[in-house]
Structures are given as structure tokens and as C-alpha cells.
Amino acid sequence: MKPAQGKLGVMAVGLGAVTTTFIVGTLMYRKGIGLPGGSVTQMARIRVGRGEQRRYLKVGEIVPMANVSDMVFGAWDIFPDNAYESAMNAAVLQPKDIEPVRDELEKIRPMAAAFDSDYVSRLAGKGGNLKTGSRRQLIDQLRDDIRQFKTQNGCDRVVVIWAASTEKYVAYDETVHGSLQALETAIDDNRTDLVSPSMCYAYAAMSEGAPFIMGAPNTCIDIPAMWQLAEQAKVPIAGKDFKTGQTLMKTVLAPMLRTRCLGLSGWFSTNILGNRDGEVLDAPENFHTKEVSKLGVIDTILSSKEQPELYGDIYHKVRINYYPPRGDAKEGWDNLDIFGWMGRDYGMQIKVDFLCRDSILAAPLVLDLVLCADLAQRAGLWGTQRWLSFFLKSPMHDFTQGEQPLHDLFQQYTVFKNKIRELGGYEPDEEFE
């Protein structure tokens, strides 16, 4: 494995609440005045070895992770505000936690974004910090941005991560998304209906040898065309959709039901949030993209085929409501109708009200995903990194081969730990059924 030498450039698509919370927290952490709570790469200890050889080490003691002090930050955004202004506007963090790194934040000015209002209608006419041109021209401009950022900041490596808004739903189209050749033809033909802005970023990043992470539920790198590009460019990809509030709870509660052999009649989920993400998701076409991501979580954990008497008839409903007064402090409310001994006539309920902070939960995931993608690149891994599904709401998988994504949080963590052990030269010794 190549050592983590030199600077690591982190280029985020979107300089909004998630990205600024991540950047501020990382800058504070490396000054020794911030806690990286929620970051597995910084806080967790993983067992390596067995018996008398057993030790519990931090991830960075097992594998050569990049140091947060070596990170350099850049971003694209439709709004021209620098990172300090954007962090203050997002109102996630308190000024007392932003001011100590103000000078560094003010130097981070977003590059013009590749944006199409047809994909995010609620942001149409806003911002104005935009690139223009065909899909191919946008890709060329993005590639030039990556090259210039890398040169100007003396970066040895770059990782690109999507932390921008959820795009409208794009259905898989075999004639465009089924192969790299077909996608490139669609790009050259300026098929704006099936080649989204996020695909432009992913294509540009991989073409420049940079790992790409999809932090939203967009149809983007979860298509055969992008898998082929990742193989050709020999870069790792991961996605999609940061696993933060309500879905995190689902990947915990559903395994509990399965393990205890408790049945599930219905699962109703609703959310309220008032940040830019909530505004975007208020549009039905954008909500549908998120809905597909959220609805797919419990199906592979609670198998109707394996246990039809328990999970053969589940009613699953998801709602997201835009509520400006709440800001970034999202509330996820779940109602589960369950049953057990003697069947549905003796049903029970579980109610969960998760008063969370969306960006506070997402920021450590950004850090972990960036560091792990860089690790994978230096280890010579490319293509879909399934071991990173632990951090993601809708894990990528090869649907063309009937592969099912792994959603159980604890099984995902086992896969993650085994990969870290393997990359560190230890035995990947945990198993699950």
C-alpha cells in the first residue's frame, strides 16, 4: 500500500450545511479543540488478533490513514458565499465554534457549479455561481477545476464527494446507463434528460483519477456505465446517501426484530426539517429519489421469502415535510406495528422520535468516507467499495446480477472491520450469517 504522504485534497460538491459543518469540525479537531464524535476512523477501536495476541487498536493504528492535518478543502456551489459565510448562513454550528477558524474558512471560495434547475427545481434562479455549456463542456470545465485545485494547493491526491442537494429521480435507462460507451455517446449528444449534473461530476472526478463518493440518493455512480469507468480509471467509488437519522435507526431496529423473530405489520416514517435539503425535497420529483432510497432499507433485512409468516405483508410508508422553523434540527418519527406470540391479534407498537441534527450526523460520515476512499485508492482497490456500505443509506450493488445490498448495520460493520484488518495485514476473522 502506498503511504499517505503529501496533501489530500477534499473537493465537495456543495458548500452548504453538511460540507461547512464537516470542514469547521475538521479544522477545529486538528487544532485540538473539537471532538470528532461519530467518526469511526477517529474514535473506534477494532480488535485485531485472537487469544493472547488480541489487541484493540484505532483504525489509524491498523492502516495508514491520511492525517486530517494534511487535508485541503475545496468546493463547488451555486451560491458564491465563502465557507465562513456559508457556515454562518447554515446556522448549524454556533458562532463560537466557527470564529476560531474564520481565517481558514474565508479562503475557501466555491468554484462555479455545474447545475441544471430541471434536476433541483426549488433552487431555480438562486445563487448564480454557475457554469454554462453542454454536458461535455461542463465535464471538461470540472476536470480543469480538479487539475487546477490539485496544482494550486500542492495536493498529492484528491477525493471528490457529493454533499449537495438530492436531484430528481432518474430511472435507469439501459440505452444510456448500461455501458460506458452508451453514456459517453449520451454526454456528447447532450442528453440532459438522462445525464444529470451529478453524473458530470462523477465522470470528471474519475477521469482525473479521483475517487468519487455519492452522498445523496441520486442515480449517478450506481449504474454499469460508471462501474466500467471506475474499472478503466482504476479508482474507488462509494455511495449512496449518507446514513444519518431515521434510516440509521431502521438499520438498528429491523435486525432486532429479525433476531427476536418478531413480526412486522407496518412501518410508518415521517420527517420534518427546514434546511435547504428540506426545501429541495419538498418538490415531489426530488422526494421520490429519497423515497426510493429510504423504502429499500428493511426489505433485505426482513425477508418475506425466508419468513413470510413474519414479514410477508409489511406496509411501509415514508414522508418528508419541509418545516422552515426547525432548520437543520431534523425530527424523524417512526411508528412500528409489530406482533409475536399468538400472532397479529396481540399486536404491539414501537414509537421512536429521533430529534437529531442532520449535518452533525453527516459530517463524521464525510470524514470517514473521504479517508477510506483515499485508503482504498492507495491500496490499489477500485470499483464499488461495498465495505463502505456501513456509512450509506442505500448501498451500491450490482443489480444486473441480482445482487442484494446489505443493510443490517451490524453486519455492515463486520464487513468494514474485516476490510480494515485485511488492509492492515491482519486476519479478517469475523463472520456472520
Which of left, alpha, beta for 190 (phi over 0: left; psi -120 to 50: alpha)? left
Parallel, antiparallel or unpaired: strands 7-13 and 155-162: parallel
Sequence-distant (≥ 6) Cβ neighbours of residue 53 within 8 angstroms: none
pLDDT for 369-384, tens place per residue?
999 999 999 999 999 9
Which pLDDT score is estimated for 81? Answer: 98
Q: Where are the domains of the chain?
A: 7-242+359-423, 246-355
Taking only the tens of pLDDT, the chain with its 433 residues reads 899 999 999 999 999 999 999 999 999 999 999 899 999 999 999 999 999 999 999 999 999 999 999 999 999 999 999 999 999 999 999 999 999 999 999 999 999 999 999 999 989 889 999 999 999 999 999 999 999 999 999 999 999 999 999 999 999 999 999 999 999 999 999 999 999 999 999 999 999 999 999 999 999 999 999 999 999 999 999 999 999 988 999 999 999 999 999 999 999 999 998 888 788 888 888 877 777 766 678 988 999 999 999 999 999 999 989 999 988 888 999 999 999 999 999 999 999 999 999 999 999 999 999 999 999 999 999 999 999 999 999 999 999 999 989 999 999 999 999 999 999 999 999 987 6
| CATH code at 246-355 | 3.30.360.10
CATH 3.30.365.10, applies to 7-242+359-423:
no
Alpha carbon dihedral 287, 290, 291, 292, in 10-degree steps, equals: 130
Do the two domains 7-242+359-423 and 246-355 of this chain adopt the same fold? no
Sequence-distant (≥ 6) Cβ neighbours of residue 211 within 8 angstroms: 159, 160, 205, 235, 236, 237, 238, 373, 374, 376, 377
